[in-house]
Structure 1
Amino acid sequence: MKNKIQKILNELNDLKQITLINMMQIQFIFLSNKLDTLIAKMPINSNLLQPFGYLHGGATMILAESVGSSISLINVKKNKKENDFNVFSIEISANHVRSIRKGILFAKAKICHKGNTLHFVQVNIYDEKKNIISFCKLTNIIIIKKQICP
């Protein structure tokens, strides 16, 4: 099982090339054996700060959506043929409860509801000392790709 988990994490990290996830330096670092919890990390740098010198809430949302949609992707892939679906976030909200200026952020995404069409995901954003920075929730929709007749 450990090899399977590492393979999935490697695939996620390979998928991010030439994307916003790569530009934000987000790295997927942990996946639970049940495939219901995914953790990623993101370093805070000056490009992610708002004018007052604190982490921009939008950067936090990018991290939350990246990890939250990825956990849905993992769970859909295990039940459906590869490449016959898309996963899209259709709603995201956050409560930012603590500000931060530097360090590394972690995002822990856990699927709360896994239906055939909708997934509800809770994402907690925290710092290196495990202080909560933001509570986020995400709704993902799974859409089957339409077959094109030749």
Structure 2
Amino acid sequence: MTDANPILDTTGTLLERMGIVLEEMSPGRVTAHMPVAGNTQPYGLLHGGASAVLAETVGSVASALHAGKDRIAVGIELNCTHHRAAREGLVHAVATPVHLGGTLATYAITITDDSGALVCTCRLTCLLRERPPAS
């Protein structure tokens, strides 16, 4: 990991395992996509937990960018409402801020399929803390 942007090194992380690709990254908007293939439940539909991982990823990255390099963002609440199934292609996530405070950051996340149809809506709240010393 780099000191300046430790959230950008996804080597060996869940993001890498699930095929999540971060695209646009700023405290005001983070986007990413993920393949449906390999992230399904036994019925062949996108797993709800995979949607939650994608949502927490974009919301956490945005929160960490808002927090700055001397602080970290730790997720404390995630909720997801699943609207429709995705069976193939990619799903696309967009995180936008609801609240950007000094100790909490909350993001609304939408997940859509390749046609733009809404798959899932989520809200993530992160606690912003001082970065612990390196051990």
Q: Above 0.5 in TM-score?
A: yes
Q: What is the percent sequence identity of the aligned residues?
A: 32
| Distance change (3 Å), C-alpha of 1:12 and 1:129 | farther
| Distance change (3 Å), C-alpha of 1:12 and 1:130 | farther
- Report if the CA contact (8 A) 1:13-1:27 is conserved: no
Question: Which residue in the other structure is 2:113 paired with?
Answer: 127
Larger Rg: 1
2 CA distance for matches of 1:137 and 1:104? 21
* Superposition deviation, residue 14 in structure 1: 4.0
Q: Which amino acid aligns with 1:30?
A: E
Instruction: State the secondary structure of the residue aligned to 1:48.
Output: coil
Q: How does 1:1-150 map to 2 (within 5 A)?
A: 14-31=8-25, 35-45=27-37, 47-77=38-68, 82=69, 84-145=70-131
**Number of equivalent positions:** 130
Query: Which 4+ runs in 1 deviate beyond 6 A?
Result: none
1 CA distance for matches of 2:87 and 2:65? 32
- Unpaired stretches in structure 2, ≥5 consecutive residues: none
| Distance change (3 Å), C-alpha of 1:42 and 1:12 | farther
Instruction: State the secondary structure of the residue aligned to 1:111.
Output: strand
| Distance change (3 Å), C-alpha of 1:22 and 1:65 | same
| Distance change (3 Å), C-alpha of 1:54 and 1:147 | closer
* Superposition deviation, residue 44 in structure 1: 1.3
Structure with more helix by fraction: 1
What TM-score results when the alignment is normalised by the length of structure 2?
0.88
* Superposition deviation, residue 145 in structure 1: 3.5
